[in-house]
Amino acid sequence: MLGLSAVLWLGWFTPEIHDSDFWWHLKTGEYIWQNHALPVPDPFAFTTALAAPSYPGEDLTRHFNLTHEWLSQALFYAVYRMGGFAGMVLFRGALLAAFCGLAGLVAYRRSGGFYRALGAAFATAGIASSFALDRPFLITFLFLALTFAILEYRRGLWLLPAVFLIWANCHGGYFLGWLVLAAYAAEALFARWRKAPLAGDGTLWRASAASFLISGVNPNGFRVPQILLHYRGSYLTSRLLEWSPPRLWPPGEFTLLLAGAAALLLWRRRAVRAADWLLFAAFAAAALTAERNIILIGFLAPVLMACYIPWKRNLPAPAQWGAAALLLAGLGIGIGGGRFFQLRAAEWRYPRGAADFLLAHHVTGPMFNTYEYGGYLIWRLGPRERVFIDGRALSESLFMDYARILYNHDESGGKSAQELLDQYGIQTIVMNSFEYTGGLVYLLAPALADPRQREWKLVYSESASMIFMRHAPEGVAPLDSLRVLDHMEAECALHIEREPQYTLCARGLGQVFARVGDRNRARRWIGIYLAHPHNPDPQAEQTYQRLLGAGQ
């Protein structure tokens, strides 16, 4: 059962590499290996040096974002050099599988029941599957679970300082370990106050203090709490989905785990340990403030439920065989359906062809790019050619200028998109057309399709990306600007084929065609959107009916 579970988790956590941040993490790791130095000042975005701080302390936040993950980035690049993209996918799967295994181990230690511990591990895996991304936060997940296991077993407590030293240089989430140490130390202190001291409480306090102190040996010292306050007050961060509060309705696995664990703790309140109250309160508060923190409840809630659910009966033998059959069936479905062990990178969603074009024609000079393409362009072009923006989120003021350019804003009292492109000296634009989760159209694309504008020439177009330049490279004939609309259709169609859960681009595309008076294409794309599962959308349905009537 353990072997089947481990293979199933490994398969579950090995979809293809599809996170846009992976690329700049990988390039940063390469930079660290080659230069034996941290990436400060920023070697990859030319705008970082131009951006003035928007709030007191933004310089500290910028330094933190550039440096706090250096060790994990170096590790990622080492794994890539040894195993390529396949090695990275398996490495990610192994980290998450170990995280779930440790959740099960802690649950087994607390409950003594094999199957309830296995159930807790699978509940953790259900939440962890949303985090199957190639980012340094995987190190935080693993070390957080390892800290729990060491504290629960009360063995190897003096391993904790070494864990925290490595952790503090891999990812800023090491401060979560402070919370775990504090909760267990407070529980031991409470037990001693009640004249029932826990075994080894002195060693626990000393190891915890040493772990806290040594975690300050990192490029940012003990500034994590200060940086988190900056994050919470940042407009840029608020625009990122992972920092928004999670949706509680309709109830999903996170909601059920959160509510179930809370109800169980209240029901069994006389038996609940002090550390469990403290950690559940802290982790629930963190999870309710940001989508990226739901993994904390994904780990803790199943452990608590396995521990405090009073039903202790063993599974009958037929049920055990049934559980094994379910694991085998899950493996068969995952492998047979091609969803497990996708040992590759999803380069179809990134500007691979555009990067090849820029390299082949030796294009240099200031470049504007979309946010989600910045990481890939850093990987392919940096540091010889530097980007405009990327997922490192280094400047509030730059992000505001970026949004104004991308959505072609021309607000009174502010600079137009063209004026901002001129201000930054942009010579090349590399972009896609949509933000797929929300379906927003990047209005810069249809604006550049207007035959009346003469500043920008379309020099390259394929389903993933377009390139516009002020001056086409020697030997390259500019394309008809109206091909931008053809590109937008091809791009949306590709994403709907590959990711049918994201169809809002079809709605946005239909609106674009409706505005330019192309009713046939507007009707087609709104029809495609309505033909896929979607939330109630009376406006789109009314628009579609009106277009149908116009077509008759």
Q: What is the pLDDT of residues 40-64, one digit of tens each?
A: 999 999 999 998 888 888 999 999 9
Residue 440: DSSP 8-state: E
pLDDT score of 551 = 57
Do 392 and 27 touch, CB atoms closer than 8 A?
no
How sure is the predictor about 122, in pLDDT bands with cuts at 50, 70 and 90? Answer: very high
Residues 433 and 515 in one domain: no
Do 64 and 393 touch, CB atoms closer than 8 A?
no
Assigned domain for 336 exists: yes
Residues 325 and 411 in one domain: no
Comparing 1-15, 57-71, 305-319, the range with the smallest average pLDDT is 305-319
Residues 343 and 361 in one domain: no
Q: What is the pLDDT of residues 7-20, one digit of tens each?
A: 999 999 999 999 99
Q: Does 510 have pLDDT greater than 60?
A: yes
How sure is the predictor about 414, in pLDDT bands with cuts at 50, 70 and 90? Answer: confident
Residues 458 and 516 in one domain: no
Comparing 214-218, 412-416, 466-470, the range with the smallest average pLDDT is 412-416
Q: Does 411 have pLDDT greater than 60?
A: no
Residues 514 and 381 in one domain: no
How far CA 103 is from CA of 5, 124, 260, 306, 524, in Å, comes to 13, 7, 17, 10, 49
pLDDT score of 548 = 85
Residues 516 and 528 in one domain: yes
Residues 344 and 362 in one domain: no
Assigned domain for 522 exists: yes
Assigned domain for 378 exists: yes
Q: What is the mean pLDDT of the chain?
A: 94
Mean pLDDT of 424-431: 97
Assigned domain for 341 exists: yes
Residues 323 and 358 in one domain: no
Domain end position, chosen among 310, 326, 348:
348
Q: In angstroms, what is the C-alpha Rg of the chain?
A: 26
pLDDT score of 62 = 94
Assigned domain for 150 exists: no
What domain count does the chain have? 3
Assigned domain for 63 exists: yes
Q: Does 552 have pLDDT greater than 80?
A: no
In angstroms, rounded to a whole number, what is the distance separating the alpha carbons of residues 483 and 383? 31
pLDDT score of 243 = 86
Q: What is the pLDDT of residues 93-116, one digit of tens each?
A: 999 999 999 999 999 999 999 999
CA angle 9, 11, 15 (to 5 degrees): 120
Helix (H) or strand (E) holding 146: helix 137-153
pLDDT score of 412 = 52
Residues 513 and 526 in one domain: yes
In angstroms, rounded to a whole number, what is the distance separating the alpha carbons of residues 288 and 6? 30
Residue 9's domain spans which residues?
Answer: 1-91+318-348
pLDDT score of 314 = 78
Question: How long is the chain?
Answer: 552
Q: Does 236 have pLDDT greater than 90?
A: no
- The CATH number of the domain holding residue 446 is 3.40.50
Q: Tokens for 525?
A: 């794309």
Residue with tokens 């179809």: 348
Residues 464 and 528 in one domain: no
Q: Tokens for 245?
A: 């509060």
Mean pLDDT of 408-429: 85
Q: Does 482 have pLDDT greater than 60?
A: yes
Domain end position, chosen among 438, 459, 491:
491
Q: Does 2 have pLDDT greater than 90?
A: yes
% of the chain exceeding 90 in pLDDT = 86
Residues 45 and 6 in one domain: yes
Domain end position, chosen among 491, 521, 543:
491
Residues 436 and 526 in one domain: no
466-469, strands of its sheet edge to edge: 367-369, 428-431, 466-469, 457-461
pLDDT score of 408 = 80
Q: Does 151 have pLDDT greater than 90?
A: yes
Assigned domain for 159 exists: no
In angstroms, rounded to a whole number, what is the distance separating the alpha carbons of residues 219 and 545? 59
Assigned domain for 86 exists: yes
Mean pLDDT of 413-434: 92
